[in-house]
């Protein structure tokens, strides 16, 4: 019998988990099977990544064919066709002006990579003093030192505080008094973006700021949806002061909002887009930064024998991940997954808001196939109720995650209405029983 001791689990209370491990054995479509044969519906698409459902045959076939042909090829001064094809393909589906793609292996690496690109860009333009980054409270951009610096989740920064990069943060757009049970985007609050100009730029000076980095929807913190017009206003302020705008689409990218990118959904063009997760349907690690031609071309600088950006990872553009991603983009297009997200969204919205009648529920928020159901926090023990609910939901056959006291609901794009109903039913039982 394998012991549970050696594996130090990430983002997990290890001592608690190991008292009663939740072990998954297999998966298919929208359903996991546990080691003891129980079915659990995937209410969080694995970890926001399995949009097309588990073990999609086209993705599995593409990966099998790839491992039998070319298992590994570096992208340092050699290459393989899969990485070039994938970059072309991503450029063709990204907003038009963004057509250069740098591959990494995760969302965290994408964030740190984009921050390096921003610093290098300003340096080449003779403005190396622009080295302050602006993130947002409750934002999540992974766990690299760049990502936690611009991130706004206190527990992720606390222990490492003295090592953070220079950063400041916009306030979160969350306003419980007016947004608690809003469906989709709040009508009011776009003017919260003005803080970028009125406080941040006024305090630090635009000339010192390298970039503003935000998630179009702050998903990891429990799904905080931007008020209508907020993102456009941020873009306008960035333009007025020549700040780079980076959208972290690690969760929203590749379909969750009903378009390939939330930048398209919200009709706002950033200078860089970060992606990861759904790009391979979670089947193999891959992330990246999609960069505007202008930034890319500025960075194509220096002697011909020198790499223009001294940056990259052994597994940047790994053949297996590229094969998985090419197959995933085919699946999204050929199987009409974006249309499916758009069709399912109104049903999903009504279903998740049906939980608003429960006493313990203090907010329900949603956009596309992402929702947060916030529970009343226990006095003096923020997060405990959410933590207990997450474990209980698993017993009731639904996989979810609980940032703080919010339960996240983000099913695969292929989920049926009846599976949505079953999951909502599981959430209802869970919330009623959660102490």
Round to whole Å and give the CA distance between 389 and 373.
11
Residues numbered 117-156 forming contacts with ligand PLP, rule: CB under 6 A: 140-142
Binding test (CB under 6 A) with ligand PLP, winner from 90, 201, 262, 276? 276
Verify binding: residue 426, ligand PLP, rule CB under 6 A.
Answer: no
Round to whole Å and give the CA distance between 83 and 316.
9
- Residue number, nearest CB to ligand PLP: 107
Two tokens, residue 361? 């529920």
Verify binding: residue 46, ligand PLP, rule CB under 6 A.
Answer: no
Query: Which of residues 397 and 411 has its CB atom nearest to ligand PLP in the complex?
Result: 411
Query: Which of residues 62 and 218 has its CB atom nearest to ligand PLP in the complex?
Result: 218
Beta-carbon contacts of 25 under 8 Å, excluding residues fewer than 6 positions away, are 32, 33, 34, 35
- Residue pair 423/344 in contact by the 8 Å Cβ criterion: no
Query: Which of residues 136 and 141 has its CB atom nearest to ligand PLP in the complex?
Result: 141
Verify binding: residue 271, ligand PLP, rule CB under 6 A.
Answer: no
Span near ligand PLP by CB under 6 A; candidates 58-66, 203-211, 212-220, 237-245? 212-220
Q: How far is the CB of 48 from ligand PLP (least distance, A)?
A: 6
Q: How far is the CB of 262 from ligand PLP (least distance, A)?
A: 11
290, β-bridge pairs:
101, 273
Verify binding: residue 220, ligand PLP, rule CB under 6 A.
Answer: yes
Nearest to 220 by CA among 410, 429, 62, 387: 410
Round to whole Å and give the CA distance between 65 and 57.
12
Q: Could you tell me how many residues make up the chain? A: 435
Binding test (CB under 6 A) with ligand PLP, winner from 40, 210, 251, 351? 251
- Residue pair 420/351 in contact by the 8 Å Cβ criterion: yes
Query: Which of residues 206 and 320 has its CB atom nearest to ligand PLP in the complex?
Result: 320
Strands 272-275 and 244-248: parallel
Q: How far is the CB of 78 from ligand PLP (least distance, A)?
A: 26
Verify binding: residue 281, ligand PLP, rule CB under 6 A.
Answer: no
Q: How far is the CB of 283 from ligand PLP (least distance, A)?
A: 14
Nearest to 219 by CA among 175, 183, 174, 283: 174
Binding test (CB under 6 A) with ligand PLP, winner from 42, 112, 248, 271? 248
Query: Quick check: helix, strand or coil at residue 52?
Result: coil
Q: How many residues bind ligand PLP (CB under 6 A)?
A: 15
Beta-carbon contacts of 155 under 8 Å, excluding residues fewer than 6 positions away, are none
Query: Which of residues 341 and 355 has its CB atom nearest to ligand PLP in the complex?
Result: 341
Number of H helices, E strands in the chain: 17, 14
Q: How far is the CB of 369 from ligand PLP (least distance, A)?
A: 15
Verify binding: residue 215, ligand PLP, rule CB under 6 A.
Answer: yes
Two tokens, residue 262? 């939330």
- Residue pair 206/349 in contact by the 8 Å Cβ criterion: no
Q: What is the x/- site pattern for ligand PLP, positions 88-107, by CB under 6 A?
A: ------------------xx
Angle at alpha carbon of residue 408, lines to 281 and 48, rounded to 5°: 10
Query: Which of residues 41 and 219 has its CB atom nearest to ligand PLP in the complex?
Result: 219
Query: Which of residues 56 and 138 has its CB atom nearest to ligand PLP in the complex?
Result: 138
Residues lying near ligand PLP in the complex (CB under 6 A) are found at: 106-108, 111, 140-142, 215, 219-220, 248, 250-251, 276, 287
């Amino acid at each position: 019998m394998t012991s549970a001791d050696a594996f130090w689990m990430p983002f997990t209370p290890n001592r608690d988990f190991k008292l009663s491990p939740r072990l998954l054995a297999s998966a298919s479509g929208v359903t996991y099977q546990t080691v003891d044969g129980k079915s659990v519906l995937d209410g969080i698409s694995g970890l926001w990544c399995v949009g097309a459902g588990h073990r999609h045959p086209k993705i599995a076939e593409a990966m099998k064919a790839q491992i039998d042909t070319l298992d590994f090829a570096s992208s340092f001064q050699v290459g393989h066709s899969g990485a070039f094809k994938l970059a072309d393909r991503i450029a063709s589906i990204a907003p038009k002006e963004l057509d250069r793609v740098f591959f990494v292996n995760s969302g965290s690496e994408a964030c740190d990579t984009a921050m390096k690109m921003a610093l290098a860009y300003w340096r080449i333009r003779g403005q190396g003093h622009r080295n302050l980054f602006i993130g947002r409270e409750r934002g999540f951009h992974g766990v690299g030192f760049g990502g936690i610096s611009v991130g706004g989740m206190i527990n992720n920064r606390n222990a490492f505080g003295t090592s953070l990069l220079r950063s400041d943060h916009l306030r979160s757009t969350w306003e419980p008094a007016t947004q608690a049970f809003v469906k989709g985007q709040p009508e009011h609050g776009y003017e919260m973006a003005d803080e970028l100009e009125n406080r941040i730029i006024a305090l630090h000076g635009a000339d010192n700021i390298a970039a503003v980095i935000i998630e179009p929807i702050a998903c990891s913190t429990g799904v905080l949806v931007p008020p209508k017009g907020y993102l456009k206003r941020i873009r306008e302020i960035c333009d007025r002061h020549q700040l780079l705008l980076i959208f972290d689409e690690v969760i929203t990218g590749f379909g969750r909002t009903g378009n390939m990118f939330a930048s398209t959904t919200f009709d706002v063009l950033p200078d860089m887009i970060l992606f990861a997760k759904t790009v391979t349907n979670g089947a193999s690690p891959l992330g990246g930064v999609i960069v505007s031609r202008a930034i890319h071309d500025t960075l194509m600088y220096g002697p011909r024998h020198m790499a223009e950006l001294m940056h990259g990872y052994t597994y940047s553009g790994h053949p297996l991940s590229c094969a998985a991603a090419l197959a995933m983009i085919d699946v999204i297009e050929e199987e009409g997954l974006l249309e499916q997200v758009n069709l399912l969204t109104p049903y999903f919205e009504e279903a998740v808001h049906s939980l608003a009648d429960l006493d313990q529920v203090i907010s329900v928020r949603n956009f596309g196939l992402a929702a947060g159901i916030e529970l009343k926090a226990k006095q003096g023990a923020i997060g405990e109720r959410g933590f207990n609910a997450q474990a209980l939901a698993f017993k009731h056959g639904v996989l979810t995650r609980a940032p703080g006291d919010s339960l996240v609901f983000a099913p695969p794009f292929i989920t049926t209405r009846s599976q949505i109903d079953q999951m909502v039913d599981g959430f209802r039982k869970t919330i009623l029983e959660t102490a």
